[in-house]
Structure 1
Amino acid sequence: MSPREPRLIEAIVDDAPALAEIRRDIHAHPELCFEEERTSELVARCLGDWGIEHHRGLGKTGVVGIIRNGSSERAIGLRADMDALPMTEHNRFAHASRHVGKMHACGHDGHTAMLLAAAKHLAEHRDFDGTVYLVFQPAEEGGGGAREMIRDGLFERFPMQAIFGMHNWPGMGAGTFGVCPGPIMASSNEFRITITGKGCHAALPHNGIDPVPVACQMVQAFQTIVTRNKRPIDAAVISVTMIHTGEATNVVPDSCEIQGTVRTFSLDVLDLIERRMREVAEHTGAAYGASVAFEFHRNYPPTVNHPAEAEFVRGVMAELVGADQVIAFEPTMGAEDFSYFLLEKPGAYFMIGNGDGGHRDHGHGLGPCNLHNPTYDFNDRLIPLGASFWVRLVERWLAKA
């Protein structure tokens, strides 16, 4: 049985070409984290043109729109991220990035366009009772913009009962959605370990303390933390991605530096891994007579959906596209700063399928249409679908008893 057509909102479908032009304009003018001045101005101008109250400056470049109707005190937050990535685009179509080293390679331009399309419809029709907060967030790509908006009083100034976020997902068919309760994305963490030995001539290694075999022992031992220290049912990744040492083939170096990333779905597992990595590093160095400096930096916490809100989202998705087009999304070890919002408020983070890349205009690069790939592009067909979902979510959520 072929999937039924999604129940799109006709007025949003009519507006979609204009919103696609806005999306492509944002794509052509990417801005990195906390630099989204032009994008924020564009968002604020659109909201103002549609008669939507809005506030700027949260998280430096964030924008929050407010749409009210009726007398209910219930309020819902919808979030879209706005920033681009520090990478050079390989596409050559008309809306490709005009700034070398900056690219919308994760679809935040499309997320912004979908929420703008929903905002326009909600402002014009107001078929709900309560308040909608439109959260246009800066600096998701490593800057922690969600955290900074919270620090600037997001939830005090805009008191919502729940908040929701949507991200496009390449490889999932256009017209599908994906959601799951509990963890959906991992925590993101970085480590740096400096091993200091004693340099010497490589032909006379007994005169020094070689940090290289110390580093090799550490890298192997870290994997036993995953396989022997944590419970097998707890997911985690330790990836050593950089080892820097040496300047000449006949010199044992003084020091060696190891860097990498750790990903987990829970803070308890993260605590365990950080503690064991430190112990392994320091004790391994001591066993070889080397000194060790261990640094562990926690970036984003895990993104953990609240079960009731995730199930509510699933129901709205099923109404819009049919239950067979709603996927039980498999959690990924990628990270997302929407996690900070979910630590403060009930809510859910979920995916909208971006397709397989066949939507891209003539002139795209030869690589795949994957996130963080220089030939990626957002699928404009998602704008009416994503915006229709946002509107239906608002209507259903604010109608809850």
Structure 2
Amino acid sequence: MLSLEDYPQRYELANELHARPSPALSAPVTAVYLAVKCPDHAASRDRDQDRAHLIDLLDRFGAPHPSPDANHYFGTIGRHHLKWEQHTEFVTYTVFADGVASRAFEPAAFDVFPEDWLQQAPGKRVTSIHLRVDLMPDTEAEMNDVLRNWFVAESVAATWVLDRAAMVAGDFRIDTAGHIRFTAFVDKTAGPRRIGRIVQRLCEIETYKSMSMLGLPPARHLQARLGHLDGELTKLVGAMSRDDEAPEATLDELLQISSELEDLTAATSFRLSATKAYEALVNQRIQALREERFMGRQTMSEFMMRRYDPAMRTIKSAERLLGSMAQRAMRAGDLLRTRVDVQRSEQNQALLEGMNRRADMQLRLQETVEGLSVVAISYYAVSLAGYLAYPLTELLGISKGMLTAALTLPVVALVWWGVRRIRHSIGT
């Protein structure tokens, strides 16, 4: 043992890789499967309610409880084996019973889930699966006859899997009891772990397919709403080129559209992202089966290509359209803001030119007032200087009028010089 301290989650993370092994099953065996999802905010649901619902079922059979923080469980309930798993958005219950009923897909197999217990489930059923595993008949024709009797011919997908270790089939239709039907005919040499993996893959394909399809209704609603917003956005862009209304009003309308697009993005981003993740899991699980065509029938991958992929393309198209419109609105907003800025710049330029003209007029008026002020001040200054110099008339032998005339020009010049000095000192 090394004396190096382990990272706190080392054992927890290592054990997580081995926490959900495939069940070991021997044919013939019947599996009933139930996936339950909370209708709203499933990813942030109270997971203690999921465990409490599991414990309620275990108590009815006197089975031991899981650990308090467990997100998976495997145990025995009565004559059956139960596998419980808690996922990001849903929980699954799989019950395995040895043997198969004489009547194919007998609804009574689901009686292992008590009716009152089902009604108390903290969520709604996403899907339920009735899976019948039996030994392979001697001929392919016998299996083909069984498929004609058990499944809808138009929809059935049948394929060899895992190097012909088994032939699996299902029509992905909900039967009268409310379940999806699958069957698997396994070779006598197939081991229990391989049979368990086949059963688990079929359940995962149906579950992830159903979870990904939850994105289709929001995508269709999104497309309808985006079609309306696209018309409004096109109208606004056209109004920008025609100058039909004030840019400020157009900008307000554009901001409303951008705000609604952001709301739509926030409301649908999780569902659309989850859909892509679930779609990838569906395709991955089908690839893991290593399909080979059975008697000319469509494989599961072909079924998905024809029936499932169009729905996924619709969802992806809605997501791309939402992103494209958000980009268009952003570009239109940038153009409109640029246009508003240019107009405001022109208005500011005109305002500055007007201010310059008013400043010139004010300067001329000031110069005019300054000239009048010099005249007025000079008039009073000459009068005062005349009174002051009148006693000199007798000494100089001139008249008062001559003295006043002699004082006028020097006084006016002195007043003009004084006013100029005052204006210069104020300007500096």
- Identify whether the pair has TM-score above 0.5, normalized to the shorter chain: no
TM band (smaller chain)? under 0.3
Instruction: Give the number of the structure whose residues are more often helix, by fraction.
Output: 2
TM-score (norm 1): 0.25
Instruction: Give the number of the structure whose residues are more often strand, by fraction.
Output: 1
TM-score (norm 2): 0.24
